[in-house]
Amino acid sequence: MTDRSNLLADCGSCFGLCCVALPFAASTDFAVDKKAGQPCVNLRSDSRCGIHTRLREKGFQGCTVYDCFGAGQQVSQVTFGGRDWREDPATARRMFAVFPVMRQLHELLRYLTEALAMETPRGLHEELRSALDATERLTASDPETLVELDVAGHRAGVNELLLRASEAVRAGFRGKRKERRGADLMGARLKGADLRGANLRGALLVAADLRGADLRTADLIGADFRDADLRGADLTGALFLTQSQLDAARGDAATVLPASLTRPSHW
């Protein structure tokens, strides 16, 4: 995968946007309720989290699995030129409206970058490159353009290309490939399952037992792995798997991961 360090969250260059712009409700993921635009009770004046090293034990597990894909620093330092939302209410409102849009664009850039590293037909590769360039141009737009952007429409077009890239890669698997796109597999018993080349896009795998499962080159874009048991599972070459998906799951030293991702510290 080509270097895309700008798609990695740099909290030191962000004004704590995810801790302010986004809402959350008291649940197993968050200890309290918070409205959109309201600073989290743990956000310090220097835009850092006051309980960053203790988020899980303090009931804020949801924060540990969130990834802005670098949208935070893009909005803070580029779109708004380093102006802190604390400076004036007007800037704050616009910044909070832009952040969720930018986050989606950066997520698409992350997936497109991965797709461009895959072996795909030349025509499709060119379409992916064009989509990446177009998405990058959008990230450089002014706040007004970003707020008015039909991000859902843009995302739909990109997703169609990503699916074609996935199908091109997974076509190399012999036998019947498992099509479980969007499937409800919550708590499913999939221990040792052969899921090579499977389509698990958007699948609900919350608390699923995937111990020892073979997920090599499975398409995992958008799959929900919260509390899924990945101990001993093989995720070699898994398509569109993100660090936040791994952070939400459970695994161990025997879990085989793609080289681009790291083993979560809580495993």
pLDDT tens digits, one per residue of 45-85: 999 999 999 999 999 999 999 999 999 999 999 999 999 99
Contact 209, 230 (CB under 8 A): no
Given 170, 191, 223, the domain boundary residue is: 170
The percent of residues in the chain predicted with pLDDT above 90, rounded, is 92
d(CA 62, CA 31): 9
In tens, the pLDDT along 211-233 reads: 999 999 999 999 999 999 999 99
Give the domain extent around 225: 175-267
Tell me what percent of the chain is helix, strand and coil, each rounded to the nearest 5: 40, 5, 55
Mean pLDDT rounded to a whole number for the chain: 95
d(CA 219, CA 244): 16
253 — phi, psi (to 5°)? Answer: -65, -20
Q: pTM of the predicted model, to two decimals?
A: 0.93
Count of structural domains within the chain: 2
Q: Determine the pLDDT at residue 176.
A: 65
The enclosing domain of 208 has a CATH number of: 2.160.20.80
Pick from 23, 42, 50: nearest CA to 34: 23
Q: Is 139 helix (H, G, I), strand (E, B) or coil?
A: helix
Co-location of 182 and 111 in the same domain = no
Co-location of 231 and 179 in the same domain = yes
What is the mean pLDDT of the segment spanning 171-191?
Answer: 88
Q: Determine the pLDDT at residue 175.
A: 62
Is the pLDDT reported for residue 173 higher than 80? no
Pick from 8, 17, 81: nearest CA to 47: 17
Given 170, 185, 214, the domain boundary residue is: 170
Given 115, 135, 170, the domain boundary residue is: 170
What is the mean pLDDT of the segment spanning 108-127?
Answer: 96
